[in-house]
Amino acid sequence: MGRALLALYSATGEEQWLEAAVAVADGTLATLLDETNKGFYGTVPDSTASLIPPRKPLEDNAHAASFFYDLFIMSKLPRFETVAEETLRAVAAPSILAREGRITGRTGLALEQLTAAYVEFSVVAENANEAAQKLYAAGIDAYHPRKLLHFEKPGRYPQLGDASMFICNPDRCSLPLSKPEEVAEVAESFREGATSL
């Protein structure tokens, strides 16, 4: 559900979907998190937990890690910053992976997601004005396999004219883009950088 809400947020730019994803994340942390060892239980622990320890399903935790990773990049809320890594560390021990066999595919994808890193497309504007909408549409059209597209208020990036886009990964950022036709070419340069490493 959380990943679907983030997909809706990226597709529409509408803040309500990000807020709903944050609510899902907070509910998950409040009800399913193993506070001591990290990772998420498959069900809410109850009075039977002392007799039968609740499970932390590998595949479900991989989905959770993927969700929390993207959510932190898009929301910048500090409470989500370490959840993805802690979740994978809690469940992806070699002994668990060996036991699970074919169920490890989703975990492999989550590990690749965390280690390959994101490419963040941030449309910076005070509001979703026409210039911002055009840049956002160009961001939707531009292809990058690790793209995370969202609107962002000025602060982390400066306010430059009506709207601008910054394309960044953990190592570098583009110059500010103000023309929609620039977006695809700059996005492509980030793909070239990934394949040349």
pLDDT digits (tens, 9 = 90+) for 140-162: 999 888 899 999 999 999 888 89
Question: Helix, strand, coil: what percent of the chain each, to 5?
Answer: 60, 10, 30
36 vs 192, higher pLDDT: 36
- The proportion of the chain whose per-residue pLDDT surpasses 70, expressed as a percent, equals 89
Structure confidence at residue 58 as a pLDDT band (50, 70, 90): confident
pLDDT of residue 171: 87
What per-residue confidence (pLDDT) applies to 47?
A: 72
* Entry pTM: 0.80
Q: What are the pLDDT digits (tens) for 166-191?
A: 999 988 999 999 999 999 999 998 87
Domains of the chain, with CATH numbers?
A: 2-44+51-116 (no CATH), 119-196 (3.40.30)
Tell me the average pLDDT of the chain.
87
Tokens at 165, concatenated:
């886009």
DSSP state, residue 53: P
Cβ neighbours, 10 Å, residue 42: 12
